[in-house]
Amino acid sequence: MKQTIVVAVITLIAGLGIGYFIGYGIGFEKSMLRQDQNGNGEQSETRTVSLYYYNADLDKDATGNVMCTRNGLVPVIRRISVTQTPIQDTVRLLLQGQLTQAERDHGISTEYPLEGLRLTGASLQNGKLTLSFDDPSNKTGGGSCRVGILWFQIEATALQFPEAREARFAPEELFQP
């Protein structure tokens, strides 16, 4: 009986969260090809992208322990200008860590931005995406739970693009416990 109640509560919370984000994303999808003015008064085409942040409430085991897995990733919908570098533009936007108060109120969090961390380039060959970063303050290190979540957020954000089937980071010393 107790397990049934716990499962029902977790299912309800997850359903409410997913419903909120699906509804939130629909408004953006309808305006996917909308023309916006940029700072120069010119028109620029935009597209929707997902930035993957973390909600620990969606990543707990039956006893309430945070699992530090991809299960806690939540897409947050944003619009970016259409450019030749959508993957880099999207990852850079993720690294800014700009969540709305409503998103934070729904349990979404991030440690981004990290002081000094910046994306310096990207290379895509045969579906393998290599993202290069500069981390002069060594902010991508830490405990395995923390660095895993930081890694998962970037990986999921980058892999939403169908041409990228695998993501790697350079230098390899980044995101190490």
* pLDDT recorded at residue 39: 55
Tell whether 27 is covered by a domain: yes
Tell whether 176 is covered by a domain: no
If you average pLDDT over residues 38-64, what whole number do you get? Answer: 88
Tell whether 177 is covered by a domain: no
Tell whether 119 is covered by a domain: yes
Tell whether 28 is covered by a domain: yes
Provide the domain limits for residue 135: 2-170
Domains of the chain: total: 1
Tell whether 92 is covered by a domain: yes
Tell whether 49 is covered by a domain: yes
Tell whether 175 is covered by a domain: no
Choice between 176 and 42, residue whose per-residue pLDDT is larger: 176
Cis upstream peptide for 136 (omega within 30°): no
Cis upstream peptide for 86 (omega within 30°): no
- What number of CA atoms fall less than 13 Å from residue 94's CA on the CB side? 27
Q: What angle do CA 70, 82, 116 make, to 5 degrees?
A: 55
pLDDT at 85 over 60: yes
pLDDT at 47 over 50: yes
pLDDT tens digits, 153-162: 999 999 999 9
CA 5 to chain centroid: 31
pLDDT tens digits, 134-152: 999 999 999 999 999 999 9
